[in-house]
Amino acid sequence: MGGFAAMLVLVCSHGYAQTNTTVEVTVHADRPGAIIHPEIYGQFAEQLGHGIYGGIWVGEHSATPNIRGYRKDVVEALKAIKVPVVRWPGGCFADQYDWRDGIGPRDKRPVRMNASWGGEDDNRFGTHEFMDFAELIGAKTYLSINVGTGTPREMSQWIEYITADVHSSLAQERRANGRDKPWKLDYVGIGNEMWGCGGSMRPQFYADVYRQYATFVHAPEHAPIVRIASGANADDLGWTDTAMSMAGSQIDAISLHNYTIPTGDWKHKGSATEFGEAEWMSTLQGALRMDELIARHSAVMDKYDPKKRVGLAVDEWGNWTDQDPSAGDAALYQQNSLRDALSAAITLDIFQAHADRVRMANIAQMVNVLQAMILTDQSKMVLTPTYYVFDMYKVFQGATYLPVNVQAPAYRFGNVSVPGVHATAGRDATGIVHVALVNLDPHHADTVHLMLPGIKGSDVHGHVLTAPEINAINTFDHPDRVKPAAFGGAIFKQGVVTAVLPPKSVVVLDIH
Ligand code: AHR
């Protein structure tokens, strides 16, 4: 680790004195890795709570400013972070969804119970509304197909309705409902959590069901559809093994779901806002676990697919806390703090480090549900700390991954310890190298010496996201408490960037 083990005391720009730990980070531009698929910055929008209704869709006649029924503020915020792909309509909701309920005149659509999450759904938001929404924000489309209570015939008719450019009855029905040209359908998920809410299947049974459905995914020749198998819950390697061995040749990607529960107890998950350092630590540890999960699932996939043709799609991930006490009928509504921002940053770092296998990921979820990007209340909107991480990290979309080596003292709490600094790097198409650095330690600043062999830069700029408290949040009244600021703590000298990371912070540097 060279000679950087010193502990210093400095007064940082926030004006507080901190013990300063020295860290060495090397970015290996000489060993470029895979392209970072933009789709790892994907999002998940399930038909539940106030995620779609009120969060995305308010209808044309709403007092909330809207574009053809979509909230203008939300659309603009999503466009600003370049959302690459949206997964819809579930989740558990998808395996009870009849796509025919959501087409035709809105006032004639049936009202159904939302059996997964409670309440009723009058289907105002259906296929046209989803596909148009994705087009509006410039995102690819990912449909989760009803396998649990549906049929292959329903699936293939839904796909034809969306994608056919001929004069079949289904394509004509789409035209009669207001859409002449077909939409581009990019991904289909063959069921969701088939081991659980999708049908309580055993992996052997599901592998055959997958093969059956995959056979009937008929894509237009010029517009292939990626078929994603419903994959494992967390560390269920056996599920991945069985699916890959029995159906691997028909699988384009397989999913993985993993949520971090701060307390580790699904019955009492912990508060999104009222927590101490123990749950700060356990949540960041949960985020770090993603590395081991991907490595282990990928190793199983390697047995059947050593060339990594099949992608891993982490199409549900994030922090899941107790529902906010003020949530009312907004199922799975939780606030979002600086802790969520750091765990999102760590998780995105990990996806990038596995860019050769991870081709897509979808944070759960987009608006008003779980670890949301955006919270809304009537006409008010607030961007969360997690949103700002996606904003800072958008520079990595499509960049070439550059391996990083971090030599950092551990951050310890009680008898738990994790690496004090997490990092990732990529070179974009214009040659700019972007480096993200996360200081997990809530007490100590870090002086990072960034070694850049093979990088001819002379200039460094950056942004930092931090706040005075670990549980700092943005609210409708105080929307700017956790927001990126220009970072003045980095200098470039003799080929080395030295950056002072505040405690509990995310910094993204651009090296020209
Ligand atoms: O994201 C909420 C739920 O979590 C999804 O519906 C389900 O797939 C998962 O269990």
How much distance in Å is there from the Cα of 321 to the middle of ligand 1?
Answer: 13
User: Which of 195, 257, 333, 363 to mutate to test ligand 1, by most ligand atoms within 8 A of the CB atom?
Assistant: 257
User: Which of 48, 197, 236, 365 to mutate to test ligand 1, by most ligand atoms within 8 A of the CB atom?
Assistant: 197
Q: Quick one: average pLDDT of 110-132?
A: 97
Q: Can you give the pLDDT at residue 14?
A: 41
**Bond prior to 189 in cis (omega within 30° of 0):** no
How much distance in Å is there from the Cα of 41 to the middle of ligand 1?
Answer: 18
Which residues approach ligand 1 with their CB closer than 6 A?
46, 90-92, 192-193, 316, 364-365, 370
For atom 5 of ligand 1, which residue has the closest CA? 91
Q: Considering the chain, what is the average pLDDT of its residues?
A: 95
Q: Is the pLDDT of residue 359 over 70?
A: yes
Q: List active site positions.
A: 193, 316
Q: Quick one: average pLDDT of 5-27?
A: 58
Q: Which atom of ligand 1 is nearest to the CA of 92?
A: 6
Q: Can you give the pLDDT at residue 5?
A: 31
How much distance in Å is there from the Cα of 91 to the middle of ligand 1?
Answer: 5
- pLDDT, tens only, 291-313: 999 999 999 999 999 999 999 99
Q: Which of 210, 187, 315 is nearest to 256 (CA)?
A: 315
Q: Which atom of ligand 1 is nearest to the CA of 94?
A: 6
Q: Quick one: average pLDDT of 314-333?
A: 96
Instruction: Please report which helix (H) or strand (E) contains residue 386, including its range.
Output: helix 385-393
Q: Can you give the pLDDT at residue 18?
A: 52
For atom 7 of ligand 1, which residue has the closest CA? 91
Q: Are 502 and 466 in contact (CB under 8 A)?
A: yes
Alpha carbon distance 5, 49 (integer Å) = 50
- pLDDT, tens only, 197-215: 999 999 999 999 999 999 9
Q: Are 343 and 386 in contact (CB under 8 A)?
A: no
Q: Are 312 and 298 in contact (CB under 8 A)?
A: yes
Q: Which two tokens stand for residue 368?
A: 């008003």
* CB burial readout 221-230, b (16+ within 10 A) else e: eeeebbbbbb
Confidence class for position 488, pLDDT limits 50, 70, 90: very high
Q: Which atom of ligand 1 is nearest to the CA of 196?
A: 10
User: Which of 48, 93, 316, 363 to mutate to test ligand 1, by most ligand atoms within 8 A of the CB atom?
Assistant: 316
Q: Which atom of ligand 1 is nearest to the CA of 116?
A: 6
Confidence class for position 366, pLDDT limits 50, 70, 90: very high
For atom 2 of ligand 1, which residue has the closest CA? 91
* CB burial readout 399-427, b (16+ within 10 A) else e: bbbbebebbbbebebeeeebbbbbbbbbb
Q: Which of 11-25, 57-71, 163-177, 229-243 has the lowest mean pLDDT?
A: 11-25
Look up the pTM and report it.
0.96
- pLDDT, tens only, 225-259: 999 999 999 999 999 999 999 999 999 999 999 99
Q: Which atom of ligand 1 is nearest to the CA of 259?
A: 4
For atom 8 of ligand 1, which residue has the closest CA? 91
How much distance in Å is there from the Cα of 498 to the middle of ligand 1?
Answer: 42
Q: Over the Cα atoms of the chain, what is R_g? A: 23
Confidence class for position 21, pLDDT limits 50, 70, 90: confident
Q: Is the pLDDT of residue 458 over 50?
A: yes
Q: Which two tokens stand for residue 317?
A: 């991930």
* Separation in Å, CA 72 to CA 75, 126, 133, 475: 5, 19, 11, 19
DSSP 234: T
Q: Is the pLDDT of residue 15 over 70?
A: no
How much distance in Å is there from the Cα of 92 to the middle of ligand 1?
Answer: 6
Q: Can you give the pLDDT at residue 88?
A: 98
Across 287-330, the runs of DSSP E, i.e. the strands, are 311-319
Q: Can you give the pLDDT at residue 465?
A: 98
- pLDDT, tens only, 370-414: 999 999 999 999 999 999 999 999 999 999 999 999 999 999 999
How much distance in Å is there from the Cα of 323 to the middle of ligand 1?
Answer: 14
- pLDDT, tens only, 60-108: 999 999 999 999 999 999 999 999 999 999 999 999 999 999 999 999 9
For atom 3 of ligand 1, which residue has the closest CA? 91
Q: Is the pLDDT of residue 16 over 60?
A: no
